[in-house]
């Protein structure tokens, strides 16, 4: 109330209060000149100057009147001249052309600072999502717009921004540099390289927050995006432009599925973005090294906001990954905007994981004094993830037919898929791959629970060869597990039940697959075809995985080209089935269990 009274009093009496920071103590005549200019500009009868000396300005002064900042300091001049790391010739030109600032920037002052969040008085025309610059060079983004103050999240320099620090508007939306040069690099959520390989030459600048494509800009998902994982490509197929959630407790193999999917995109033309949110640096380094060892970094960009980063950095990391992916989706091979004649790119984006982003957003929201909602989370936590995942799509032919496929990862607590964050993301995505601890410790890798996992795109994103053999596999496995649990204490089983248990055990074992060993879709379809036609029923369960590997190797090298025929036809023709019926028994005759 006192603040409002003061403002009204000064306004009624045409008194202007201003803050003046100067590099050294000014002479009286210089102060009189500054006051005279302020009176003329603001039609004031009196000017009250709050003067401080700041030697870091080098020379000149910084004057703030309300939310306007006039920066004529030597440090500002130097920063302008050195902007963008200019060459010597460019620097000389800037020095010769430099003129003192004749216009002002809109600014304010920090009135509170805590945990990477600052509140600012002034800058009444600032908008949500705008970048602001602090006098020490730190940058932040407007995250909360209130009648009396702004809430800004800091990207850097949190330890040097305190009460009284001056801040100015930039007029720019928060964004990230993009370009082909980012492939093969590890960057921060601000687009800065953190892999020690030097600067990255950007080709554009994409906003991190962007409205998702409309319905008319999209088309149906119908092109497979193979992960190379037998259990997923057969029962829960993923299409280009889909959003498939990977969910499960910690240490159940969620990241392994995502990295295997990235490895399997080699030579497919699909570019990959891996966003690491809140993970240890050593963990991310291990993933990057695995990708590099297998040649996957050539088509992959890693965005890393590690565990020691501030909450705002964890919050913007997935949006930065989406912005980079959208650059490739909306541009053709020539770097020009995609259209019907210039197809856009295809991108796979992994968010590992969004649970940590939600926790970071909760921390930010509570510091911004927003009211908590269910489970102490802010009420808009659903919107946080929906506006990110809705950006995944397959564009229409008129827009280049590019695609952005999202694989968000969510960590559950003790298998509680009904908790707030898991149910939010389940309702946003087009299906989920649910990994359970019980199956993981039983040796079932990947530990996919076929009962609760689903892909809502389904057979639309499968080739005919896989669709024909895997149509009832998921239901058969679910029925087998229920039957096995029901009959585990019984001994008197009829022949049909015993046959169902034998086939189910063989197919369950067949789906086991090691890390970093993606399979081609032809190999996957052939393996399931062999199991469905009873060729594994008499193979000892412990030998089935080895049988699968050796059988596929035999078919590739001694199968009279049957695998090539299957790859070409993309379905099991009568000729292909006849050759498999001849080749597989020949292999079994020489297989030693």
Active-site residue list: 456
| Nearest to 189, CA basis, from 168, 204, 201, 174 | 174
3-state secondary structure string across 350-394: EEECHHHHHHHHHHHHHHCCCCECHHHCECCHHHHHHHHHCCCEE
Do 450 and 395 touch, CB atoms closer than 8 A?
A: no
What dihedral angle (degrees, nearest 10) is formed by the CA atoms of 209, 273, 383, 141?
A: -40
The residues, any chain, with a CB within 8 Å of residue 500's CB and separated by 6 or more, are 479, 480, 483
Q: What angle do CA 390, 394, 396 make, to 5 degrees?
A: 120
Do 468 and 281 touch, CB atoms closer than 8 A?
A: no
Q: What is the CA radius of gyration of the chain?
A: 31
Residue 586 host element (H or E): helix 574-590
Do 519 and 549 touch, CB atoms closer than 8 A?
A: no
| Nearest to 144, CA basis, from 314, 389, 361 | 361
Residue 206 host element (H or E): strand 204-207
Do 317 and 357 touch, CB atoms closer than 8 A?
A: yes
List the structure tokens of 135.
Answer: 């006098």
Q: What's the sign of the alpha-carbon dihedral 146, 148, 149, 150? A: positive
- Angle, helix 544-558 to helix 521-532, in steps of 10 degrees: 120
What dihedral angle (degrees, nearest 10) is formed by the CA atoms of 317, 320, 325, 329?
A: 150
In 13-117, which residue ranges form alpha helices assigned H by DSSP?
28-42, 74-81, 88-97
Backbone angles phi, psi at 210, to 5 degrees: -145, 140
* CA–CA gap between residue 339 and residue 330 (Å, rounded): 9
Do 246 and 409 touch, CB atoms closer than 8 A?
A: yes
List the structure tokens of 83.
Answer: 């902007």
Backbone angles phi, psi at 206, to 5 degrees: -105, 135
DSSP percent split of the chain into helix, strand, coil, nearest 5? 40, 20, 35
């Amino acid at each position: 109330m006192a603040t409002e009274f003061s403002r009204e009093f000064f306004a009624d009496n045409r008194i202007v209060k201003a803050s003046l920071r100067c590099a050294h103590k000014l002479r009286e005549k210089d102060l009189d000149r500054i006051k005279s200019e302020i009176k003329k500009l603001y039609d004031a009868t009196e000017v009250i100057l709050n003067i401080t000396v700041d030697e870091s300005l080098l020379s000149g002064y910084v004057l703030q009147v309300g939310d306007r900042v006039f920066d004529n300091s030597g440090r500002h001049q130097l920063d302008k001249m050195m902007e963008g790391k200019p060459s010597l010739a460019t620097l000389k030109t800037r020095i010769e052309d430099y003129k003192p600032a004749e216009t002002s920037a809109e600014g304010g002052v920090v009135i509170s600072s805590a945990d990477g969040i600052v509140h600012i008085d002034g800058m009444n025309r600032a908008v949500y999502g705008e970048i602001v610059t602090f006098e020490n060079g730190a940058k932040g983004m407007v995250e909360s717009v209130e009648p009396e103050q702004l809430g800004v999240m800091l990207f850097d320099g949190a330890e040097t921004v305190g009460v009284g620090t001056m801040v100015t508007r930039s007029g720019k939306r928060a964004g990230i540099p993009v370009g082909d040069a980012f492939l093969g690099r590890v960057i921060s959520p601000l687009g800065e390289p953190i892999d020690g390989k030097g600067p990255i030459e950007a080709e554009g600048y994409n906003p991190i927050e962007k409205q998702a494509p409309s319905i008319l800009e999209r088309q149906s998902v119908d092109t497979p995006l193979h992960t190379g994982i037998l259990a997923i490509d057969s029962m829960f197929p993923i299409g280009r432009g889909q959003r498939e959630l990977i969910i499960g407790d910690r240490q159940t193999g969620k990241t392994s599925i995502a990295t295997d999917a990235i490895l399997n995109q080699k030579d497919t033309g699909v570019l990959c973005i891996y966003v690491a949110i809140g993970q240890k640096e050593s963990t991310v380094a291990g993933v990057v090294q695995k990708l590099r060892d297998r040649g996957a970094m050539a088509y992959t960009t890693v965005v890393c906001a590690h565990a020691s980063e501030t909450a705002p950095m964890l919050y913007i990391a997935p949006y930065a990954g989406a912005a980079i992916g959208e650059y490739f989706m909306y541009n053709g091979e020539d770097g020009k905007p995609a259209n019907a004649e210039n197809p856009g790119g295809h991108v796979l984006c992994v968010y590992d994981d969004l649970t940590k982003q939600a926790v970071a957003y909760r921390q930010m929201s509570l510091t911004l004094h927003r009211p908590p909602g269910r489970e102490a989370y802010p009420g808009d936590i659903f919107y946080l993830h929906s506006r990110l995942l809705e950006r995944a799509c397959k564009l229409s032919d008129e827009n280049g037919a590019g695609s952005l496929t999202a694989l968000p990862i969510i960590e559950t607590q003790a298998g509680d898929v009904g908790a707030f964050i898991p149910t939010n993301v389940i309702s946003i995505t087009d299906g989920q791959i649910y990994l359970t601890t019980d199956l993981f410790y039983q040796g079932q890798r990947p530990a996919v629970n076929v009962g609760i996992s689903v892909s809502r795109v389904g057979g639309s994103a499968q080739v005919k060869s896989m669709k024909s053999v895997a149509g009832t596999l998921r239901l058969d496995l679910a029925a087998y597990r229920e039957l096995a649990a029901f009959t585990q204490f019984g001994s008197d089983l009829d022949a049909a039940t015993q046959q169902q248990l034998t086939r189910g055990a063989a197919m369950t074992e067949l789906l086991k697959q090691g890390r970093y060993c993606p399979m081609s879709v032809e190999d996957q379809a052939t393996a399931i075809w062999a199991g469905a036609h009873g060729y594994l029923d008499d193979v000892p369960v412990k030998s089935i995985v080895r049988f699968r590997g050796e059988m596929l190797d035999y078919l590739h090298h001694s199968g009279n080209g049957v695998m090539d025929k299957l790859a070409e036809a993309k379905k099991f023709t009568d000729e292909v089935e006849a050759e498999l019926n001849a080749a597989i028994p020949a292999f079994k005759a020489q297989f030693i269990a």
